[in-house]
Amino acid sequence: MGNSNLYKGSLTTIILKLLNENDKMYGYEITQKVKELTKGELKITEGALYPSLHKLEADGLLDVEVMKVDNRLRKYYKLTPDGTKETAVKLADLETYIKTMQALVTPKLRFD
Amino acid sequence: MGNSNLYKGSLTTIILKLLNENDKMYGYEITQKVKELTKGELKITEGALYPSLHKLEADGLLDVEVMKVDNRLRKYYKLTPDGTKETAVKLADLETYIKTMQALVTPKLRFD
DNA sequence: TTATATGCATAAGAAAATTATGTATATATT
DNA sequence: AATATATACATAATTTTCTTATGCATATAA
């Protein structure tokens, strides 16, 4: 995903959070929204996004609704009740991660 | 590493930062220090740690010094000049990652 | 007419971890 | 005396998650 490998493992969190805010979104819309919200810092690739959406659906966290808009296909995803629960879990995990990393990293830097 | 998959990709950052603070450390010491600093939240596995140390050494970011203490082997690692530079890069990446994720995730949660 | 944008998808490969072992010494426990 | 735990290193097999490359299809801008 991002320019740094730190983003590995955060895609699911990002998808769930966006769907928690936006009720229903389709894949391409997610890529654009992420680009916009991060001012271009994070660009989600389709090769990562679509398999991830499929897995979330298979795991029962997302529901799909296929629509045709302007003669183009769209697959709208929305959270299931389990998906909403999992969103809270993932966001708590992210907070813990950030606090833990800050505990490890916050101390003074040295330049010898 | 951790209980959440968000830690994927942060091991190098953690190792470099600890060595930046502590001058020289050996592998087992790093696992214990991380457990202590994170109050048990993060447990680095040897299967992740040792290959990572070897790679950092191969990349010229760490130097090794083998010692025998109490009849047991220790491999002390310390930052090379390149390693010190890379530490600053990795820490900047981490800050960017945290800010980016907060930009994506900070908005209001919903519980339908 | 050619490139860019929109919209989905998958396959091959790389990177980074987990899990499972293996070796060896020292100390604490039963 | 035997066994478990702690210390200390290492690697191999597998899994997860991503990148890169490719493919199909329609719409719009250059």
Q: Is the Cβ of A17 closer than 8 Å to some Cβ of chain B? A: yes
pLDDT of residue A3: 80
Residue B15: closest CA among B77, B98, B89: B77
Chain A hits for B42, Cβ within 8 Å? 100, 104
Report the residue of chain B nearest A89, measured CA to CA: B4
pLDDT of residue B106: 82
Report the pLDDT averaged over residues A33-53. Answer: 96
Percent of chain A with pLDDT over 70: 95
Report, in ranges, which bases of strand C sit under 7 Å from a protein C-beta.
Answer: 6-12, 15-22, 24-27
List residues bridging with A25 in a β-sheet.
A77
Average pLDDT, chain B: 93
pLDDT tier, A85 (very low <50, low <70, confident <90, very high otherwise): very high
Top-tier CATH class for B5-102 = mainly alpha
> Crossing angle for the helix pair B11-22 and B81-105, nearest 10 degrees?
130
pLDDT of residue B26: 98
Footprint of strand C on the protein (CB under 7 A): A 5, 8, 26-29, 32, 46-47, 50-51, 53-54, 69-70, 72-75; B 1-2, 7-12, 44-48, 51-52, 55, 70-72
Show me where the domains of chain B are located.
Answer: 5-102
Average pLDDT, chain A: 93
pLDDT at residue A81 tops 80: yes
**A104 with B17: Cβ contact below 8 A:** yes
pLDDT of residue A1: 79
Residues of chain B with pLDDT under 70: 107-112
- CATH topology assigned to domain A5-94: Arc Repressor Mutant, subunit A (1.10.10)
DSSP H or E stretch at residue A26: strand A25-26
Q: Cβ of residue B50 near strand D, that is under 7 Å? A: yes
pLDDT 10s digits, B44-65: 999 999 999 999 999 999 999 9
User: Using CA atoms, how far apart are residues A25 and A8, in angstroms rounded to an integer?
Assistant: 22
pLDDT 10s digits, A13-30: 999 999 999 999 999 999
Cβ–Cβ under 8 Å, residues A86 and A16: yes
Please return the burial class of B112, using the count of CB atoms within 10 Å of its CB with bins 0-12, 13-18 and 19+.
exposed
Q: Is the Cβ of A103 closer than 8 Å to some Cβ of chain B? A: yes
**Residue A62 in 3-state DSSP?**
strand
